[in-house]
Structure 1
Amino acid sequence: MELPVWFEIATFVGLTVLLLADLALVVRRPHEPSVKEASIWVTFYVVLALLFGVVVLAVTNGQFATEFYAGWLTEYSLSVDNLFVFVIIMARFQVPRKLQQEVLMVGIIIALVLRGIFILLGAELIERFTWVFYIFGAFLVYTAINLVRHRDEDEDYEENAFIRRMRKVLPMTPDFHESKIRVVQNGKKLWTPMIVVFLALGTTDLLFALDSIPAIFGLTREPFIVFTANIFALMGLRQLYFLLGGLLKRLVYLSIGLAVILAFIGVKLIMEALHTNELPFINGGEHIEAVPEIPIWLSLSIILGVLLVATVASLLKTRGETTEDAPAEVAEGESPVGTETTGRPAPAPETAEEPRHT
């Protein structure tokens, strides 16, 4: 069964309006949300995703609905893990707390555009070359192994070559100017550190997409389901950032849980590649019918079970521990990236938060 065109169009129009309204709200009233406000918004977006799955079930069938739920849960759990890196980026550039909502919102929009491109490319590759599942599967298993091997290592955000290059070529102010990305000083147009923060979040999420996109293609081959699952996973991430705060540090087994999920999906992808094999050096280019197919309901059950066990085990392990406050807002007159207008960074500040990424 194919998804109705009218349903796809209506969905994208509705989600676009919702994202624009959310962005307008953030731009109009920049502030640090309270725990109550963040809780309400996170609950709203979670309920919205659950209701969307019901709508998919009503419009299409149980297969697409289950694929959406499995994909959304996987992408959402990976996005939560990525919040560790977002915390470090905010501290690294000393973004004022009242501006962090807007920074995250713009970063999320950049992420959606980049992931949309990745999804289109991935769908085209799968359509033309089914053997690409071998590569996707092996990469996910490799990523899962690295997650387990390096789970206890301290990490820090390192600027990629693109960000370092931008720092050199863009004339930049030493301080933030509210949410502006460009200002005029002494008759000269200068960029603000905000542009570098936007670029840092966007390019970092591009790296995250290298494992999150193959992972969801292991659960569904429908690009519409892949993209909507990513949208719903990223919506509400901004509020979740403020809601979890120091609680992120208590999720000590989250990386292990994600490693199990990624390894499972990786094996599932390899099994599907074997089942539809066309490579001449494997079984003479014939399909291997003996390889079992893992039903989507079983995949959803395993993903739910692993996330539940990892979360409960983490909270029990860290029971009684206190969470540390989030990075403080930049003090008046304090420079977030250095004292030169070249935009060269000051030494990275110490932070108690430890990022984890996949």
Structure 2
Amino acid sequence: MTSIGTPLLWTLFTVFVLIALAIDFLALNRQGSHTVGMREATIWSILWVAVSFLFVGWLWWYLGGTAPDPLSRDLANAKALEFITGYLVEKALAVDNIFVFLMIFTYFAVPAAFQKRVLMIGILGALVLRAIMILIGAWLITQFHWIMYVFGAFLLFTGIKMWWAAGQEPDLGNNPALRWINRHMKISPNYDGEKFFTIDNGVKMATPLFVVILLIGIVDVVFAVDSIPAIFAITTDPFIVLTSNVFAILGLRAMYFLLAGMHERFHLLSYGLAIILGFIGIKMLLIDIYKIPIAWSLGFTITTLVVTMLLSLKIPPRHGKTGTAFPFAPKPEGGSAGER
């Protein structure tokens, strides 16, 4: 498997990510617990998107986008297009993450001031998890070419499953992971600031915030299983796969606060994501028969997202039934169980 990832490129990318995370953590600590407003979320969202495109612009230049050598220009153009397509696909799939995060926060009545730190921890976990899964995926594809067909069939199946599930109200109360956590852990009925553990009546218990962190970690695993094969359908270059994933994830927290209030407005987006996953799955299944150009994949992805978002604004949502309430009804600060 060929890759443009030289030791210098990997080093520069790693340093950049560490600096970006350090700045994000510093800003988080200085601001403390607070509710993120639309203005702040918009600024950070624009900033992360701008940084992502600055990176791909620099990469294009570094690979010879302005060089007189046609081979260098072709390589630079191809890798830049792969990055942008992969970035948009991962960004689009991340929207589904956001809506699930919103469901979890709403279900557990997580105070708005605590959500920012929870998402930061979730993003760190997602970065580590995806790096590991990408390395495993790259090794599998190198050793077993037929794994591409497995990925393709899985994405096609996932797309069909997502289509049928779209529009249905998820029931988090019947989630197996949540039921297991509730059976095996002592959980306090109340929040204790941003603490993950507290003492309740002399007994050490996990706070509802800790349960939220665990569930978000599980969501990261589930969505990584979908998104990692999707990016390998666009490119098998580990450097492009990892960088496009990381840049998409780095802006996830800001995008959450930007879109959290719009989930009803873009209620048809899940159908669009299902179509994109199905298209990518078919692309992987046809890889040895016909290679669909990257530009077509990019155009299809953008068109599908735009159409489903516009249709969401035209067609009113259908309101389904809500899930069952959490058994111990957490409160932001104090309060007795069951008083929600």
Q: Does TM, normalized by the shorter one, top 0.5?
A: yes
State the 1:70 CA deviation: 0.6
Q: How does 1:256-271 map to 2 (within 5 A)?
A: 256-271=271-286
Who is 2:131 aligned against? 116
Q: What TM-score do you get using the length of structure 2 for normalisation?
A: 0.85
Q: Distance in 2 between matches of 1:93 and 1:129?
A: 43
| Offset of residue 63 of structure 1 | 1.4
Structure 1 residue 158, shift from structure 2 partner: 4.7
State the Cα distance separating 1:253 from its structure 2 match: 2.2
- Cα shift readout 1:209-237 (whole Å, capped 9, x = no counterpart): 11111111100101221122121112222
Give the gaps of 5 or more residues in structure 1.
Answer: 276-290, 320-328, 340-345, 350-358
Q: Distance in 2 between matches of 1:35 and 1:228?
A: 27
Say which of 16, 36, 49 aligns to 2:39. Answer: 36
- Quote the offset at 1:183 in angstroms: 3.6
- Counterpart of 2:105 in structure 1 is 90
Q: Write the distance in 2 (CA, Å) between the matches of 1:252 and 1:187.
A: 45
CA distance, structure 1, for counterparts of residue 27 and residue 191 of structure 2: 21
The aligned counterpart of 1:49 is 52
Given that 1:66 and 1:296 are in contact with CA atoms closer than 8 Å, whether structure 2 keeps it comes out as yes
Aligned AA (2:291) = E
Q: Is the counterpart of residue 201 in structure 1 residue 223 in structure 2?
A: no
**2:27 aligned partner, one-letter code:** L
Alignment partner of 1:174: what SS? Answer: coil
Partner of 2:61: 58
Residue aligning to 1:7: 9
* Number of residues of Structure 1 aligned to a counterpart in Structure 2: 313
Give the corresponding residue for 1:231: 246
Partner residue in 2 for 1:353: none
CA distance in 1 between counterparts of 2:127 and 2:182 reads: 24
Mean CA deviation greater in 142-151 or 218-227: 142-151
- Choose 305-314 or 156-165, whichever is displaced more: 156-165
Change (3 A) 1:186 1:120: same
AA of the residue aligned to 2:217:
G
Letter in 2 for 1:333: G
Of the three residues 124, 128, 136, the one matched with 2:151 is: 136
Matches of 1:33 and 1:216, distance apart in 2: 31
Amino acid corresponding to residue 248 of structure 2 in structure 1:
A
Q: Residue 178 of structure 1 is aligned with which of 190, 193, 204?
A: 193
Alignment of 1:100 with 2:115, yes or no, is yes
**240-249 vs 62-71, which moves further:** 240-249
Q: Alpha-carbon deviation of 1:250? A: 1.2
> Post-superposition shift, 1:160?
5.0
User: SS at the partner of 2:264?
Assistant: helix
Please report how far the alpha carbon of residue 18 of structure 1 lies from its aligned counterpart in structure 2 after TM superposition.
0.9
CA contact (8 A) 2:192 2:334 kept: no
CA drift at 1:188:
5.3
Instruction: Calculate the aligned-residue CA RMSD, in Å.
Output: 2.3
* Greater shift in the superposed pair: 150-159 or 122-131: 150-159
Letter in 2 for 1:240: M
Shift of 1:137: 0.6
Matched residue, 1:322: none
What is the Cα deviation at residue 161 of structure 1? 4.5
Following the alignment from structure 1 to structure 2, what is the Cα–Cα distance between the partners of residues 184 and 32? 26
* TM-score of the aligned structures, taking structure 1 as reference length: 0.81
1:273-284 mapped onto 2 (5 Å cutoff)? 275=288
Distance 1:156 1:334 in 2: 25
Aligned to 1:303: 301
Cα 1:185–1:259 change in 2 (3 A) is closer
One of 90, 94, 99 as aligned partner of 1:79: 94
* 1:94–1:330 CA contact under 8 A, matched in 2: yes
CA distance in 2, matches of 1:199, 1:215: 25
Matched, 1:314 2:312: yes
Q: State the match for 1:355 in structure 2.
A: none
